[in-house]
Chain A
C-alpha cells in the first residue's frame, strides 16, 4: 500500500508541484530568514573574525568586543609575564573621522596592530603587502571601505560614478596624512564604517596621543597550554579579563568573546527583536503555507481514503499511508527549500549583502520544523479519515 500511497502523491503533478512549492518555500523562508538574522548578528562580533588571535585580554569591565575600555600600556608587560604566554601584542581600535581629499569627512574604524608581530593583521590582502605598514604614514584599507571612502565623479556617460580608493591614494586622520599601501578583504561589522589598519604606534599618533590607546591585548599561548587555561591564569595573575576567540555562539563557553558579544547584543539591544520578528514571521508564514497545502491535499483525498477504509483497510494502514505521503513530501520540500536557501546564501555571501550565516543548526531546525509540520498534517489527516464513517462512501 505504501507504493500506492506514493503513487497517489506523485500521481497528480500539478498538485504535487503546489504542495512541494509550499513546503520548499516555507523551508526556504525559515532557513534564509534565520540565516540572515544570524548573519546580521554575526556582524556584532566581526572583530573576532577579522582579528585572529587565540586569547584576547581586556579591562575587567568589558562586556563585549565593540566596547573597549582602554588599558594601561604597562598592562602589556604584566600579561607577558604570565606563565604560559608565548607572546602578547597590543591592539588599538577606535572610531575616528577621516578627512578625504575632497574635504568630506568619513567615520572610520581605526585598527592599530603591533608592527613587530603584525598580530591581528587582516588575513587577505588583495593589494600590497602587510610589511609596507612599516613605512611612514601608511595604512591598509578594506575593500568595502575603499569604495565607501571613494570619490563620486561624473562618468563619461554623464552618470555618477564611484571611484574607490586605491593604493597610493591619501587622506587625513586628525590632520595627519594616511597613505594607502594595501587593500584587504575583511568581514563587515555592525558598528563603524571602513576598517583602516595601521601600526599600533602610529594609531597613537592618529588619535592625537589619547592617554590610553590600548584597547585589547592579543595573546598566544605557549605550546601545550589551552586558551581556556591561559585565560584562567591571566585573570588570576593580572585581574584583567581574558577571553577565548572561538566564534561558536551556540557553545556555553563562558570565555568566548564572540559569544558574549552576541548575547550582549541579544539582551541589550533591539536588534534581535526587530530582526527576530522577521524570522518569526518567516516561520509563521512557512508553517501556515505548508500546513495549509498539506491540509488541502488531505482533504482532497479524504473521500478516497474513506473508500479504501470501506473496502477493509484498517486505520493503521491508512495512518501509515498518510505518514508516508506527508514525510515524503516534507523531505522533498525541505530538500528543495534548503537547497535554494543555500544557493541564495552562496550568492549573498559572495556579495556580502545581506549577511548570511547558515549554521547547520538552522538547517536542522528547519528540517525538524518541516517534518513537524508534515507530522501534524498527517495526524490531522488521520483524525479526519478516522472520523469519516465508512458508510459515507455510498453517498453520491
Chain B
C-alpha cells in the first residue's frame, strides 16, 4: 500500500457524548478513540446501543460531543459553527442511510442530484452527472421513475449513487444492508466497495451484519461507548453477540 493510503482521514480522540438530563443520563460515547484512513473501508461493529450511530454522527458533524476532538482530513470539527459544519458536510460527506431516505415525490435522478444542487451546481449538469452514476449502480433507464417503484435493493443503489455523485472523500453508511435480504445486502456492499474504492476516499460502514464483514479492510469493534479493538481479519471477531 502506498504511503498516501495510510494517511489519516478521520481521527476522534477522547470523545464523550451524553444524552438526556444530568439526573437521567445516557452515556453513548465514553472516551472513544477512533481512526480511519484514506483508501480504506472500515467497519464499525458492536452490539445494539453501544454507540455506533452516535460515533458516526459525531464524525459527520451532525452531533457535537461534550468532550474530545474530532478531526476529518485535518480539519478540527470542534470550534466550527453550524454553518461551517454544514458547508463541511456538503463538500466532504456522502451518506447512505439504513432507511434509504429517498424523497418519494422526486424522480430517481432528482434524488441523486441533491448533493450537487446543494453545492450550487446547475440543474442540467447535475442531471447529467446523476445519470452517469445511476448507470454505474446498474439502474440505467430508471432515472425518471420514482424511487417507490424500485425494490429495496434498487433503492439502496440509488442512495449509493446519491452518496457518491459529488465524489466526497468521506462516505458514511449506517446499516446500509439491514433493510435488505442476504443476497441483496452482499450485492450492495460489493457495489459500495467497487464504486467507492479510491486512494483518497475513506469509507466508514456501521453494521450488525456479519455476512458483509468480508468487504472490510479493517473492523473496529465497539463496546459500551468506546472502541474495544480493531482487527484486520473478520475471522478474529467474536460474532456471536452481534
Contact = CB atoms under 8 A, between A and B. Distances in A.
Interface stretch (A4-12, A49-57, A194-202, A276-284): A4-12
Contacts, number: 89
B98 A312 contact: no
Interface residues of A, number: 30
Contacts of B93: 311-312
Contact of A7 (B82, B98, B101, B106): B106
A394 B110 contact: no
B117 A394 contact: no
A166 interface: no
B192 interface: no
Interface stretch (B33-41, B83-91, B133-141, B230-238): B83-91
Contact of A313 (B57, B60, B86): B86
Given A3-B123, A394-B53, A311 B114 contact: yes
B148 to A, nearest CB: 10
B117 A395 contact: no
B56 interface: yes
Interface stretch (A23-31, A300-308, A333-341): A300-308
B62 A312 contact: no
A166 to B, nearest CB: 63
Interface in A349-395: 389-391, 393-395
B113 A389 contact: no
Given A313-B86, A314-B83, A389-B62, A394 B57 contact: yes
Interface in B162-188: 174
B227 to A, nearest CB: 18
A310 interface: yes
B95 A393 contact: yes
B101 A393 contact: yes
B86 A12 contact: no
A96 B199 CA distance: 102
A389 B60 CA distance: 12
Interface of B: 53, 56-57, 60, 62-63, 82-83, 86-91, 93, 95, 97-99, 101, 103-107, 110, 113-115, 117-119, 123, 146, 174
Interface of A: 1, 3-4, 7-12, 15, 301, 303-304, 307-315, 317, 389-391, 393-396
20 contacts: A1-B118, A4-B114, A7-B107, A8-B106, A304-B101, A307-B97, A307-B103, A311-B114, A312-B90, A312-B91, A312-B93, A313-B90, A314-B86, A315-B82, A390-B60, A390-B62, A394-B57, A394-B62, A396-B98, A396-B99
